[in-house]
Amino acid sequence: LRRSPGEVCFPGGKSEATDKDDIDTALREAKEEVGLQPEKVEVICRLTPGIDKMNNLVTPVVGFIEDTFQVTPNPDEVSEVFVVPLEYFVKPLNYKSFPYQTSSGYLTRVHCFIYDDQESKRSFKIWGLTAHFAVYLALIIFGERPTFEVDYDLDNLFASSEDNFMKLYASVYERKKSNL
């Protein structure tokens, strides 16, 4: 892709006029990118949104699929598909983080995981918003403290996630307003 070529990410993209909502967008994009048929997904929820490096709002949609799903990557958009156990995002073998100040001035932490895929014998770098969403989902599912620091109050995960998002959104909004 033109933006972020070679980076690891979940299926997704911009909404289109025919999409009813974020879930429709997510299901359409997953079908286009990896061949996942919408009727084969049991949608569970939407997570707290994030803001990407281009200041676009990104709403993650979580669902269950059968483990028998056979991926069919769209070669125009996807070069490779791999699976990482969700637990890796609370108990990683190879992890680092670094502070990051957004273009709007908001200071946050960027998680960076290196995952060694035994099947393909390759290593993958998972970082940024993709890592952020994976960590957040793992915290929800496993309900345990990760082996690294996170920017959440783990005793009040949902509220602190929403609070972090609102601070980030406010900083982006203020920057946009000051550029008018």
pLDDT per residue as tens digits for the range 153-176: 999 999 999 999 998 888 777 766
How much is the pLDDT for 167? 86
Map tokens 């359409």 to a residue: 28
Q: Which fold has domain 22-179?
A: Nucleoside Triphosphate Pyrophosphohydrolase (3.90.79)
Cα distance between residue 19 and residue 21, in whole Å:
6
Q: Are 125 and 113 in contact (CB under 8 A)?
A: yes
Secondary structure tally for the chain: helices H, strands E: 3, 7
What local confidence, expressed as pLDDT, does residue 101 receive?
82
pLDDT value of position 170: 82
DSSP 8-state symbol, 90: T
Q: How far apart are CA 39 and CA 14, in angstroms?
A: 21
Domain ranges of the chain: 22-179
Q: What is the pLDDT of residue 102?
A: 73
State the pLDDT at residue 175.
Answer: 65
- For the chain, list residues with pLDDT below 70: 1-5, 103-104, 175-180
Q: Which are the contacts of 173, defined by CB distance < 8 A and separation ≥ 6?
A: none
**H helical segments located in the chain:** 22-34, 128-142, 157-178
What's the CA gap between 146 and 111, in Å, rounded?
12
- Structure tokens of 156? 């009040």
The model carries a pTM of 0.90
- Beta-carbon neighbour count of residue 140 at 10 Å? 15
The neighbouring-strand residues paired with 116 are: 123
The token pair at 117 is 């895929």
